[in-house]
Amino acid sequence: MKKNYYVIITVNLFLLLTSFSFASSNYSWKSVRKNKVFESWHLEGVKDVYISKTVTKVKTKKIKKLLKSKKYIKSLNKNKSPFLELFGVNNWKMNYSKWKTKNLLEVSGTYVDKDSHLVSFYEFHQFKNNKIVKYLYVQPKNSNLKQTVFRKFINQQLKKK
C-alpha cells in the first residue's frame, strides 16, 4: 500500500516539474500552412492558439484614402458579424481599435467559435503600397497567455518587407 503512495507522489512531482519547465520556456510559433490564400502558425504545445496572415490587393489610390481613416474601422464593424457567421464565427465583437502608426491598425475583441468557445482575437492591418496585410491572432478567452507571446512574433513579421 505504501509503495502505491510513493508512486503517486513521484508521478505528481514529475508532472509539477514538467509544467514549471513548460511555463518558463519560450513559446515557439510553428508554421502550419503556407499557400496562395493564407499563411498560418500554431503556438506549439498550446491548443487553439493560432496566427493567420492574409494579403488583400488594393489599388494604391484606395490605400491612401484608408490610412488613419475612421471609415475603415466603421466598415470593419458594420456587417462583419453576420458575414462571419457563415464560417462558424458567431457574435463577433470589436472592443478596441486604434491606429498604432500611420499605416498600422490594431483591432481586438471576442467571438464565439462553432464549438461555442469564447475566443479573444487581435487583428493587425498593415497598409503597404498596393496591399493590406492582415495578421489575426486568436486564443481561448480563458487562456492565461500574455500578449508578449504573439506581439513579439507579429512585430517581427510586420518588420519584414
Residues of the shown chain interacting with another protein in the complex, contacts defined by CB under 8 A = 32-33, 35-38, 40, 42, 47-48, 50-54, 56, 76, 79-80, 82-89, 111, 113-114, 121, 123, 134-136, 138
The full length of the chain comes to 161
What's the closest the beta carbon of residue 5 comes to another protein, in angstroms?
18
What's the closest the beta carbon of residue 53 comes to another protein, in angstroms?
8
Nearest to another protein of 67, 76 (CB atom): 76
Nearest to another protein of 16, 118 (CB atom): 118
Distance CA 27, CA 150 (A): 9
* Angstrom distances, CA of residue 93 to CA of 19, 42, 119, 137: 33, 23, 11, 15
Nearest to another protein of 17, 34 (CB atom): 34
Q: Is residue 133 within 8 Å of residue 62, measured between CB atoms?
A: no
Give the Cβ contact number of residue 12 at 10 Å: 10
Nearest to another protein of 121, 153 (CB atom): 121
